[in-house]
Amino acid sequence: MNYTTEKNKKNVLASPKARKFARELGVDVKNVVGSEKRGRVIEKDIKKYVSSNINKKEDIKINNEYEHSEFGQIEIKEVPRIKRIAAPHLINSWKNIPHVTNHDEVDITEMDNFRNSLTDIYTGEKKKITPLAFITKAVASSLKKFPSFNSSIDDIKNGKITLKKYYHIGIAVDTPHGLMVPKIRDVDKKNINQISEELKKVSEDCRNLKIEKKEFFGGSITVTSLGGIGGSFFTPIINYPEVAILGIGRSYKKQIFINEKFITRTVLPLSLSYDHRIIDGAEAARFNNDLKDNLGSNFAYKLAI
C-alpha cells in the first residue's frame, strides 16, 4: 500500500538512520514511498527509490540547501576523463549484479620465502617478482577447476551463460588518470617470469596512456590489489561482464597455532566478490580454498615453472 500521499508528504516518518542514509545518497526522503506501518521509510525503501530512478534521464538531485562556498573557500575541478568513462560502467555493474563478498586469509609464508629466494641463473642477482605475479597464476589455475568463475551471463532470461576456454586475467592498475583494468592474456600458458614482465609492461602502458582499448575487454576475472597502499578487506565491484573479482589486501604477520604452539606466519587478506545469480556461497568458499592451496607451500614452486 502506498502510504505517502500529498497530504502527509511533509511529515514523512523515518528514523534518523534512514534520513542520514537518504542524505548521503542525495535523496529527498519526502519522495520515498515507505513500506512500514503508517508509511514509515526504512533504508530498503531508499535503495528501491534510487534503483527505480537510476535509469531515468534526469539525475537524482542532491538535496543540499546551501552552496558549499557559503561555508568557506572551495575549488571546482574537472573529474578525470578516465573516471568519467568508468562511472556508468561501475553504476551498471553495481545495479545489475547481485554482489556477495567472501572474505578469507591465506598463509603465504612459504610462497613469500620462495619468491624472495629467486635469482637470475646467469647473473646471480635477486629477481624482483611481486606477489601479484604468483596470485595471477594461482587464480588462473583455480579457474580451470571452477569454470563458472570464468563465465559471463549474457542471456539470463533464457538461462544461457558463456563459459570461456581462455584465461585472461584483468589487473586493476592505479594511474594518475584513474583506475584501468588491462588483461594479461593466456596466463595459464605463461610462467612467473613472463607474467611478471607483462605486469610491468601493461602497468607502464596504462600510466603513459599507450595501451590499446581492446586490452580492457575479453577478461576472465579481475584481480585488484591494495597491498602496495594498505588496508585489509574490502568489497570490490565486479567488472561486468565478468562474474567475479578478487581483492587483495596488504600481507601482515600473524601468530598462528600450529603443532601445539604459536608460530609467526605471513598472511594475505582475500576479498572475493561474485555474482550470486551463477555462483553460490559454498562454491565461492571452495574457490577460495583452492586458491589458498595454490598459494601454499605445496604448490607455490610449481607456479614458477
pLDDT digits (tens, 9 = 90+) for 110-133: 999 988 888 888 888 888 899 999
Mean pLDDT of the chain: 85
Q: How far apart are CA 274 and CA 246, in angstroms?
A: 9
pTM for this entry: 0.73
What pLDDT shows up at residue 69? 76
Contacts of 194 (CB under 8 A, 6+ apart): none
Domains defined for the chain, CATH in brackets: 9-76 (4.10.320.10), 84-303 (3.30.559.10)
The catalytic position among 99, 103, 177, 276 is: 276
Residue 15 has pLDDT above 70, yes or no: yes
Q: Is residue 276 annotated as a catalytic residue, yes or no?
A: yes
Q: For cell 545495479, what's the residue?
A: 95
Give the C-alpha separation, 179 to 236, whole Å: 13
Tens digits of residue pLDDT in 240-293 = 889 999 999 999 999 999 889 999 999 999 999 999 999 999 999 999 999 999
Angle value at C-alpha 270, between 264 and 275, nearest 5 degrees:
160
Greater pLDDT, 2 or 206: 206
